[in-house]
Amino acid sequence: MTAAMEHSDVTPSFFYDFGIVREKVAMLRGALPAGVGIHYAMKANPLPAMVSAMVALVDGIDVASGGELAVALKAGAVHISFAGPGKRDAELESAIRAGSTINLESETEATRALSIAERLGMTPRLAVRVNPDFALKGSGMKMGGGAAPFGVDAERVPALVKRLIATGADWRGFHIFAGSQALDSGAIADTQAATVALAGKLAQEVGATPPLVNLGGGFGIPYFAGEQPIDVAMIGERLGGVLENRDSILKDSKFAIELGRWLVGECGIYLTRVVDRKESRGEIFLVTDGGLHHQLAASGNFGTVVRRNYPIAVANRFGFDVEETVSVVGCLCTPLDRLGDQVGLPRADVGDVIAVFMAGAYGASASPASFLGHSPAREVLTKV
Measured from the CB atom, is 186 or 346 closer to ligand PLP? 186
The piece of 6-14, 37-45, 277-285, 318-326 that touches ligand PLP (CB under 6 A) is 37-45
The piece of 41-49, 200-208, 222-230, 297-305 that touches ligand PLP (CB under 6 A) is 41-49
Measured from the CB atom, is 153 or 247 closer to ligand PLP? 153
Catalytic residue among 121, 225, 333, 335: 333
333 is catalytic: yes
Measured from the CB atom, is 181 or 299 closer to ligand PLP? 181
Whole-number Å distance between alpha carbons of 97 and 123: 9
Residue 41 interacting with ligand PLP (CB under 6 A): yes
Whole-number Å distance between alpha carbons of 98 and 80: 9
Q: Which of 24, 87, 172, 261 binds ligand PLP (CB under 6 A)?
A: 261
The piece of 85-93, 200-208, 253-261, 278-286 that touches ligand PLP (CB under 6 A) is 253-261
Q: Which of 217, 268, 290, 363 binds ligand PLP (CB under 6 A)?
A: 217
Whole-number Å distance between alpha carbons of 145 and 122: 35
Residue 94: enclosing H or E segment and its boundaries? helix 89-98
Whole-number Å distance between alpha carbons of 211 and 2: 51
Measured from the CB atom, is 258 or 337 closer to ligand PLP? 258
Question: Least distance in Å: CB of 13 to ligand PLP?
Answer: 22
Whole-number Å distance between alpha carbons of 152 and 140: 22
- In the complex, which residue's CB is closest to ligand PLP? 260
Measured from the CB atom, is 20 or 275 closer to ligand PLP? 20
Whole-number Å distance between alpha carbons of 142 and 136: 7
Q: Which of 43, 238, 246, 338 binds ligand PLP (CB under 6 A)?
A: 43
Asked whether the beta carbons of 235 and 36 are under 8 A apart, the reply is no
Nearby residues of 249 by Cβ (< 8 Å), 6 or more positions away: 200, 203, 204, 208, 209
Asked whether the beta carbons of 171 and 164 are under 8 A apart, the reply is yes
Residue 61 interacting with ligand PLP (CB under 6 A): no
Distances (CA, A) of 147 to 133, 134, 144, 154: 9, 11, 8, 11
Which residues are known catalytic residues? Answer: 333
Q: Which residues bind ligand PLP (CB under 6 A)?
A: 41, 43-44, 62, 64, 83, 177, 180-181, 217, 258-262, 361
